[in-house]
Amino acid sequence: MKRNIRKLLDEDVGFPIVDHSYHKKEAEKIYLYPYPCGKERYQQLINFCNEHNLDFTIGADHTYNPTGSTVEIKIFDEKS
């Protein structure tokens, strides 16, 4: 990820999707750990990823918040 995707995520998608995040530069991935939110917020993330040729996965297999109140969203370049 050569462009500043983290900054763009803050501006274009924002809270609650962009919450508790970090950028793993060596893996060129951004991890987000949002609390539950609705379809409109996920649609913003989909639109953002489409616009910037990114892809993402959503999972619950993480240790950030083991109580289950957050999910993990991993954002990466489509070609990864």
Hey, which bits of the chain come out as E strands?
22-24, 29-32, 54-59, 72-77
Q: Which tens digit of pLDDT belongs to each residue from 32-74?
A: 888 778 899 889 999 999 999 999 998 877 666 656 677 888 8
pLDDT score, position 54: 92
Q: What is the pTM of this model?
A: 0.74
Count of beta carbons in the 10 Å neighbourhood of residue 26: 5
Residue 3: half-sphere exposure toward Cβ, Cα within 13 Å: 10
pLDDT score, position 34: 82
Among candidate residues 35, 32, 29, 64, the one with its CA nearest the CA of residue 45 = 32
pLDDT score, position 15: 67
pLDDT score, position 43: 93
Give me the residue spans of the domains in the chain.
5-77
Among candidate residues 12, 4, 64, the one with its CA nearest the CA of residue 73 = 64
